[in-house]
Amino acid sequence: MDKANNSDFRFEKYVIKYSLIDIKEELTDNDSLNISITPKGIKYKDKFILTLDVKISDNKNIVTINIIVDGIFFFKANIPCEQIGQYFTVNAPAIIFPYIRGYISMLTSLSGTGNIVIPTLNLTDLGKELAENIEDRSE
């Protein structure tokens, strides 16, 4: 039997560091959500911590959500710098965001005011912003 190749970049876990969900009443189908995501990261020798600060609100201030999540990733120390950047800026947010969506969906469904489902998002532009907000502590 062939041995499976271990990935150079591995998701370890996520931690919800801050969670605020304020729902004044149930949203209607006509209410739209504004979603803002602020990314930042810290790169260590073989570990990357991605922090996503997610803010969601509607135009009528019926719903206010703010979630801050840390995603912990490990990587092989000998990965070329060009590859590491791609893992951090593209893959890491795409791996973490479904957990945030699920967390919000589950908590709002248990609130009695209706389930809020965050749509799947294209996070390409988020990766560009993240690339400018990575602190290198690898030394």
Q: Which of 5-14, 47-56, 102-111 has the lowest mean pLDDT?
A: 5-14
CA distances from 17 to 23, 43, 66, 109 (A): 20, 19, 11, 21
Name the pLDDT band for 3 (thresholds 50, 70, 90): low
The pTM of the full predicted model, rounded to 2 decimals, is: 0.86
Per-residue pLDDT, 72: 97
Burial of 41 from C-beta contacts in 10 A (0-12 / 13-18 / 19+): buried
Please, what are the domains in the chain? 9-136 (3.10.420.10)
pLDDT per residue as tens digits for the range 71-111:
999 987 766 556 667 778 888 999 999 999 999 999 988 88
Phi, psi of 61 (to 5 degrees): 60, 35
Q: Collapsing DSSP states into helix, strand and coil, what is residue 53?
A: strand
Measured distance CA(104)–CA(116) in Å, rounded? 7
Per-residue pLDDT, 34: 93
C-alpha 48 chain-centroid distance? 13
Nearest to residue 53, comparing CAs of 93, 106, 112? 93
